[in-house]
Amino acid sequence: MMVRLGMLRIIVVLLFVAATISVAFAVDSELTRQTMKGFPGVYVVVEEMQSNIEKHTKKFGLTKLQLQADTERRLVENGVRVLSKDEWLKTPGKPVLYVGVNTHETERYWYAYDIKVEIQQIVYMEANPKIQALATTWCINMTGLTNIGKLDIIRSDTGVLVGKFVEAFKGTNDGKGK
């Protein structure tokens, strides 16, 4: 009886906490877009391609360097400033536009892929403001399936997601950075 009463108290406390805390999910929403307000630009980080697909990607321009160049070009063409590493280190929040492509060979010459474009920035922990962490505050992703002859779709879809970021960034920052 005592154990049940203790469990009931724990459940009531958890329900109360869940009902009173507003949680922001790192997705493309009006709330997460506001986390980019005031950024003068972003530093771009693109992950290396996974080894399971890397040997096939060069002929499609699907390399880390090409995705980096594509992303930075698209940002600049749309009025979003790309920060150098030195500028980034001096920028409050240290905003990073992270681009990652995850692939898995589902069967011979067929690849499932997930592309993620995120804004990561320094956040402070409410319980202990002395602690800072790089955290995702906005993101968008796309999942698909393609065969070995059409790997260029991954590069194209990455461009679509970067375009969505540009739209979110410019909408939040009145068409430009700070």
Q: Rounded mean pLDDT of the chain?
A: 84
Per-residue pLDDT band at 14 (split at 50, 70, 90): very low
Distances (CA, A) of 104 to 89, 99, 158: 34, 17, 17
pLDDT tens digits, residue range 52-69? Answer: 788 788 778 789 999 999
| pLDDT for position 15 | 37
| CA-derived radius of gyration, the chain | 20
Q: What 3-state DSSP class applies to 78?
A: coil
Please state whether beta strands 96-107 and 110-124 pair in parallel, antiparallel, or not at all (unpaired). antiparallel
Report how far residue 21's alpha carbon sits from residue 23's, in angstroms, rounded to the nearest whole number.
Answer: 6
| pLDDT for position 29 | 84
pTM to 2 decimal places:
0.80
pLDDT tens digits, residue range 23-38? Answer: 333 488 888 899 899 9
Q: Walk me through the domains of the chain, giving residue ranges and CATH numbers.
A: 26-172 (3.30.160)
| pLDDT for position 60 | 81
Where is average pLDDT lowest: 87-91, 130-134, 174-178? 174-178
> Angle at which helices 152-172 and 64-77 pack, to 10 degrees?
30
pLDDT tens digits, residue range 92-134? Answer: 999 999 999 999 888 888 899 999 999 999 999 889 989 999 9
| pLDDT for position 16 | 36
Between 16 and 117, whose confidence is greater? 117
Mean pLDDT of 128-152: 91
Mean pLDDT of 67-90: 97
Report how far residue 43's alpha carbon sits from residue 95's, in angstroms, rounded to the nearest whole number.
Answer: 6
